[in-house]
Every structure is written in C-alpha cells, then in structure tokens.
Amino acid sequence: MDQDEQAIRAVVATWMDATAAGDVSRVLELMADDVVYLGPGRPPMRGKAEFAAAMRSMEGRVESAADIQEVRVSGDWAYCWNQLTVTIRPAAGGSAHRLSGPTLSIFRRNPGGAWVIARDANMITPVPPGK
C-alpha cells in the first residue's frame, strides 16, 4: 500500500472517529470547500456550510464503520469505494437506527498536500430491524 492510499484510508478513519465524537470542525477539515454529497431521495448537499448544518441538526450519536473495498489514486485525484454502516443512537434514548450501503468518495489533494473529500455518492439505506 503506497503513501497516498494510506493517507486516504486515514482520512476515512479520522472521519469515523470525528463523527462519533460529534466534532463538526474536524469533519469539515476533511472536505473541500466546494464539496458535494449525493444521497438517495434527497437533493445534492453542496458545500461545507450545508453539511455542517445537517450534522449539527442530528440529535444523537452517529457511529459508523467503513469496509474499504478499493482505493485508486491518479495524480492529485483519487477515489475510495467502501461499504458503510451507520448506527444513529438517539440522544433521548430508544432504539438505534441502522443504515448501510455502498459509498463512492472522490478525493482531491489540496495545495498543502492533504487529501480531502471533493465529491461523495452515499447510497446508504435503512437496514430492516433484526438484520
């Protein structure tokens, strides 16, 4: 595994940790200013401000795990395909909600050399209870 692939895998791991901690500022550092998120049944989410607002509106703890299937790097661009599982634990208690599915993230190397998410197609959907 080369240095760029290791760096991209580290971004994914940092994302998971920062999200679980509710560290919005740290998550925002991992994405490009012009980031776009695509997801099923909703319009594209554009830019850091829109993402931050969505993250801050979550009421509960978000835990996630990424099973990285593939990372490919070409110059200052890369993609990462993974199988993502997200568990949302409501702050007020009650049953956790699980979502799972594939995601495809496009990374761009910023001028400082760090990899950031530029585009993300997230196809997670609810997991039926008991699965």
Dump pLDDT digits (tens) for 36-68.
999 989 999 999 999 999 999 988 899 999 999
Q: Does the pLDDT at position 131 exceed 80? A: no
The 10s digit of each residue's pLDDT in 82-130 is 999 999 998 888 888 999 999 999 999 999 999 999 999 999 999 987 7
Architecture of domain 3-126: Roll (3.10)
Strand positions, DSSP E, the chain: 31-38, 45-46, 60-74, 77-90, 97-109, 115-122, 125-126
Q: Would you list the domain boundaries of the chain?
A: 3-126
At residue 58, the pLDDT reads: 84
